[in-house]
Amino acid sequence: MPRRIHHRHHRPKCIEIPSASGVGVCLTPISHGDDRHPAGFIIGHEIAGDRWRCEGGVTIDDAHFEHKWSMTGSLEAGDLTISPSILCRAHPDFHAYVTAGRWTG
């Protein structure tokens, strides 16, 4: 019988952000254990003709990773801005900015 693993922290919900193209884009904050200052985001997007989302991640400049993005505002307040732009390498046409809480491409 497989062993169940219980996590002390729940995974935050994916929050959909508006997109001018109509592509469903959602962000899930990831943290170092301090939810007030996200370490980054898991970014998921719809794939035409598929029922699965493609997911990848970005790390914020206070995280300890080589590739970093800068963030202002907050996802919860709807004014999140992340720079530079975000490119999905698996789907190169999925490339845009998160600006003032919107996916803008």
Tally the domains of the chain. 1
Residue 8 in domain: no
Asked whether 54 and 90 are in contact (CB, 8 A), the reply is: yes
Asked whether residue 96 is domain-assigned, the answer is: yes
* Tokens of residue 88, six digits: 């999905």
Domain assignment present for 99 = yes
Residue 6, Cβ density class (10 Å: 0-12 exposed, 13-18 middle, ≥19 buried): exposed
Let me know if residue 6 belongs to a domain. Answer: no
**Residue in 52, 51, 54 with CA at minimum distance from that of residue 42:** 54
Q: Is the dihedral of CA 32, 53, 72, 74 positive or negative?
A: negative
4 domain-assigned: no
Cα–Cα distance between 22 and 41 in angstroms, integer? 20
The predicted structure's pLDDT at residue 34: 61
Domain-embedded: residue 59? yes
Domain that holds residue 79: 15-104
* In a domain? residue 62: yes
Predicted confidence pLDDT, tens digits, the chain (105 residues): 444 444 455 556 889 998 877 878 999 998 866 656 788 999 998 887 777 788 989 998 766 777 789 999 998 899 999 999 999 888 888 889 999 999 997
Does some domain include residue 91?
A: yes
